[in-house]
């Protein structure tokens, strides 16, 4: 049994990724974790909610059982507890300093929650972890955002998954919940690169392309490696 674990489904890429996983014939079940449940029901989708900062101490089996009408998810619990499931974990967690309210709160989401989810996924037996990072990720950067993304990547490496995919998209195109003036201007200026298919590593990329690239990569035979997937490589995977 192949099971997907996913966090960050309320964001641009996360919503697209959830849609891709639910449509995928490869993953039999999708276990989504978050602060609250989405207004979405699907035969493959199991949603459990709680404080992600404390996910390591969740009674997650009880949460799953509470969602299981007539024991529908007994096979999922058995496969995970019996270590017979192939588990792929996907993290699309992320925010901005403006939305978070401070650098400290931003770090708590973009670093701490990602690492907490990854550690929990590893404990459950996840062999692969695929993370939406940033094109500018660099733990030595003087730019706080880039530095946090780089530190998160470094700490994910320390967890030692069989496969770690660090997806570094350029400017994302899609439907955001919040308005970001700077990104809107950049998208307008750079969108001709998309039309002309130029500079694929720096031109904007659509949220669904990132999501599709993540699912495609998860289903490939990749082990014993950490891989940085550039924006251009993501576009190549979705052609």
Active site residue 98: no
Contact 16, 100 (CB under 8 A): no
Q: Pairing relation of β-strands 126-132 and 205-206?
A: unpaired
For residue 37, what pLDDT band results from cuts at 50, 70 and 90? Answer: very high
Q: Which residues contact 217 (CB under 8 A, 6 or more apart)?
A: 130, 165, 227, 229, 237
Active site residue 149: yes
User: Of residues 149, 163, 206, 212, which has the active-site annotation?
Assistant: 149
- Residue 231 half-sphere exposure, CB side, CA atoms within 13 Å? 22
- Taking the C-alpha atoms of residue 212 and residue 236, their distance in angstroms, rounded to an integer, is 11
- Taking the C-alpha atoms of residue 157 and residue 216, their distance in angstroms, rounded to an integer, is 21
What the block records as the tokens of 14 is 């996360």
What does the pLDDT read at residue 204? 86
For residue 222, what pLDDT band results from cuts at 50, 70 and 90? Answer: confident
What confidence tens digit (pLDDT) does each residue in 46-73 have?
Answer: 999 999 999 999 999 999 999 887 788 9
Q: Which residues contact 168 (CB under 8 A, 6 or more apart)?
A: 133, 134, 135, 137, 228, 229, 230, 231
Helical pair 114-124 and 144-159, crossing angle rounded to 10 deg = 10
- Mean pLDDT, rounded, for 35-46: 92
The pTM of this model reads: 0.89
What confidence tens digit (pLDDT) does each residue in 76-113 have?
Answer: 999 999 999 999 999 999 998 989 999 999 999 999 99
CATH number for the domain whose boundaries are 2-237: 3.40.50.720
Which value, in Å, is the radius of gyration of the alpha carbons in the chain? 17
For residue 177, what pLDDT band results from cuts at 50, 70 and 90? Answer: low
Average pLDDT, the chain: 89
What does the pLDDT read at residue 181? 47
What confidence tens digit (pLDDT) does each residue in 179-208 have?
Answer: 454 445 444 445 555 554 555 666 889 999
User: Of residues 44, 63, 145, 222, which has the active-site annotation?
Assistant: 145
What does the pLDDT read at residue 165? 97
- Mean pLDDT, rounded, for 213-225: 91
């Amino acid at each position: 049994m192949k099971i997907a674990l996913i966090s960050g489904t309320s964001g641009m890429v996360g919503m697209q990724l959830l849609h891709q996983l639910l449509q995928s014939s490869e993953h039999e079940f999708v276990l989504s974790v978050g602060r609250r449940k989405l207004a979405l029901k699907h035969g493959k989708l199991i949603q459990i909610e709680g404080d992600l900062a404390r996910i390591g101490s969740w009674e997650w089996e009880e949460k799953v059982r509470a969602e299981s009408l007539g024991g529908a998810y007994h096979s999922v619990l058995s496969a995970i507890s019996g270590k017979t499931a192939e588990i792929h974990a996907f993290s699309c967690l992320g925010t901005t300093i403006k939305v978070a309210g401070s650098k400290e709160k931003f770090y708590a989401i973009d670093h701490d929650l990602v690492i907490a989810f990854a550690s929990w996924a590893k404990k459950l037996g996840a062999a692969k972890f695929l993370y939406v990072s940033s094109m500018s990720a660099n733990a030595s950067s003087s730019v706080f955002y880039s530095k946090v993304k780089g530190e998160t990547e470094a700490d994910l490496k320390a967890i030692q998954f069989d496969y770690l995919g660090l997806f570094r998209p350029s400017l994302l195109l899609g439907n955001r919940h919040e308005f970001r003036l700077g990104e809107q201007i950049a998208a307008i200026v750079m969108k001709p690169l998309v039309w002309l298919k130029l500079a694929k590593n720096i031109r904007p990329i659509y949220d669904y392309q990132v999501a599709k690239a993540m699912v495609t990569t998860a289903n490939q035979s990749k082990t014993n490696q950490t891989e940085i997937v550039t924006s251009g490589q993501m576009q190549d995977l979705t052609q």
